[in-house]
Amino acid sequence: MMKTNRKLYENLSAYFLLFPDLLLLTMFVFIPVLGSFYLSLHKWNGLSQMIFVGLGNYRRIFRDLAWWHSVGISFLYTLMYVPAVFAVALALALLLSNLKARIQGLFGTLYFVPFAVSGIVASFIWKFLYSPKNGYINQALAFLGVAPQLWLGSTKQALISVVIVSLWMHVGFNMIIFLAGILDIPANYYEAAEIDGARSVTKFFRITFPLLRNTNIFILITSSILSFQVFDQVKAMTNGGPGDATNVSVFHIYRQAFEMFHFGYSASMAFVLFMIILVISLLQLNVLKSSRD
Amino acid sequence: MKSKSVGSVLKIAVCSAIAVFMLVPVVLLISSSLKPPDQVMNLGLFNSPLTIESYVTVMKEDTFVQYMKNSFIVAGTVTISALLFHAMAGYALARLRFVGKDAVFSWILSTMMVPFSVLMIPLFVIVKIFGLLNTLLGVILPFIPHAYGIFLFRQFFLGIPSDLEEAATIDGASIIGIFYRIFLPLSKSIMIALGASFFIRNWNNYLWPLVVLRDRRLWLIQVAIAAYQHEYSMDWSRVLTACVVAITPIVILFFIFQNYLVEGVKLSGIK
């Protein structure tokens, strides 16, 4: 009798404690995911009656060149951002890993400072630095004898200019994760390699990099997801332009939904984007996991 | 030995150069905001007289103070509710036995996969149905639930030895009492780490407040600054000064809690 009471009491307490979060997750994540699929099967401008169109929106997406162009730009952005953030963060972590703990902490904090800066503020700082007429970057280039560049105003340079801002914002964050991973590797692995006369490059490729496998996977996947989500920098620096040079997918969806009021159609684009991100994450996970020796 | 010390001096030099590169944008932001408004495009750090003229202009605008206040309300409310709710949920998942525990836990984790861009449009509809469009509550509520926060609290509570809890149970303490009097006080470090990062994330958030808030009086600081570029057609002095004011609370928070924040980031790498 006591025992069943105790069990019931524990069950009730558990669900009492879980209740607020379960309710909020249901209302603001679970139902919206289902709702997103539901909306994607309708034509709706946010005001009038919803019209059921079945898979019509998806058929339309298939032929929508503007949409696929924006997906292409997101891919291009990801292909520039992810390898760069990975390589730079790893290089910085390696550089710091042999220094004394106090110096490591100091530089770690300094590299981490841009993490505190919002996407909007970062965008304006860099937009100011990129100013084509006599911004700091063009002045610095002039000092080196390089002609001034258009940066955000050029269809060729705009996307990479946005990538540079994102790199500046996130590299310190990723560096800290790499550094924690590197410092977790037991010192005796390196000692054994040194006895065998291994050089630093060998040590990196034979010990550090393979043992960082979980960190590598984590950084690659989170950075890829993040780069498909980029919005603030695009909205504040280029507004998708010039032309549609920086019209990344989330920005395209935002405009279709909240400027053109194509709610049903943009919900279906968001759903397709979700599938693309999911497939890329799973691919990365499988390829990298199976590369284990 | 000697070559080693030369090597580390070289390393420190490289690290310093990179640190300068990381900090230069912030330094130029601050130095530009302290120049007379008509000399912002005069490049260089100390070639203009220092003035707080642009700060006076920005702070005089009473709506600017309102934007900061709104951001404080939103980021503060999300942070406090999220810490309390996630600690409760994490405690239940880590220390209690109940029917459906594994299913609940996997369901919570599965919500982590969903990117915000997918939720944005249906969330807008839901918030509209509840009549929360154009309210701060409409910005706040959807940003409280956070599977990753629940997960980190669970991991933290799993690591606490069970003796304390057993002693308290024998003394007849209730489950909620044990959570409130024993576990909550023990979780100070993770509370600070997560609290600081929730506050920063919500202070810096832009897309969702942009979608929900139409009325200017309700704008958050990020939405307001972003709108400046149309309103003052890139009056750099004003925009940059507003940026400095907007990041000041976060930078203070950052330097007070930097160690906790770094620990929090390290946690996120462990999987």
Alpha-carbon gap, residue B209 to B71, rounded angstroms: 10
One-letter identity of residue B178: I
From chain B, the residues in CB contact with A24 under 8 A are: 85, 141, 144-145
Residue B210 lies in a domain: yes
- Asked if B136 and B67 count as a contact pair (C-beta separation under 8 A), the reply is no
Closest chain B CA to residue A257? B121
Min CA distance, B11 vs chain A (Å)? 7
From chain A, the residues in CB contact with B175 under 8 A are: 9-10, 13
Alpha-carbon gap, residue B42 to A139, rounded angstroms: 11
**Token output for A96:** 């710091």
- Give the CA count within 13 Å in the CB-facing half-sphere of B168: 16
Residue A91 scores a pLDDT above 50: yes
Where is pLDDT greater, at B47 or A257? A257
* Portion of chain A with pLDDT greater than 70, in percent: 98
Q: How many domains does chain B have?
A: 1
Residue B223 lies in a domain: yes
Residue B8 lies in a domain: no
pLDDT in tens, B222-266: 999 888 877 766 788 888 888 999 999 998 988 888 888 888 887
Residue with tokens 């707080």: B52
Average pLDDT, chain B: 86
**Interchain proximity A20–B266, CB inside 8 Å:** no
- Give the structural domain span for B198: 58-269
**Interchain proximity B88–A20, CB inside 8 Å:** yes
Taking phi over 0 as left and psi of -120 to 50 as alpha, with beta for the rest, B48 belongs to beta
Question: Across the interface, which of B145, B203, B254 has its CB nearest the CB of A25?
Answer: B145
- Asked if B239 and B124 count as a contact pair (C-beta separation under 8 A), the reply is no
Closest CA to B11 of A273, A200, A287: A200
Where is pLDDT greater, at A58 or A198? A58
* CATH number of domain containing B84: 1.10.3720.10
Can you say how many angstroms the Cα of residue A117 is from the centroid of all Cα atoms in its chain?
16
pLDDT in tens, B191-226: 998 999 899 999 999 999 999 998 888 999 999 988
Question: Across the interface, which of B23, B91, B113 has its CB nearest the CB of A110?
Answer: B23
Residue B146 lies in a domain: yes
* CATH number of domain containing A200: 1.10.3720.10
Residues sharing a CB contact under 8 Å with residue A113, sequence separation 6 or more, in sequence order:
A172, B22, B23, B26, B251, B254
Confidence of residue B82 (pLDDT cuts 50, 70, 90): very high
Min CA distance, B250 vs chain A (Å)? 6
Residue A36 lies in a domain: no
Residue B52 lies in a domain: no
Residue B42 lies in a domain: no
Residue B137 lies in a domain: yes
pLDDT in tens, A210-256: 888 888 888 998 899 999 999 999 999 988 878 888 999 999 999 99
For residue B53, what pLDDT is reported?
A: 78
- Give the structural domain span for A194: 51-290
**Token output for A157:** 């340079």
Residue A181 lies in a domain: yes
Residue A18 lies in a domain: no
Residue B9 scores a pLDDT above 90: no
Alpha-carbon gap, residue A28 to B124, rounded angstroms: 10
Residue B237 lies in a domain: yes
Taking phi over 0 as left and psi of -120 to 50 as alpha, with beta for the rest, A51 belongs to beta
For residues A196, A199, A201, A206, the Cα torsion angle rounded to the nearest 10 degrees is: 0
Residue A235 lies in a domain: yes
Q: Containing H/E element for A230? A: none
pLDDT in tens, B146-174: 998 999 999 888 888 888 777 777 777 78
Residue A12 lies in a domain: no
Q: How many domains does chain A have?
A: 1
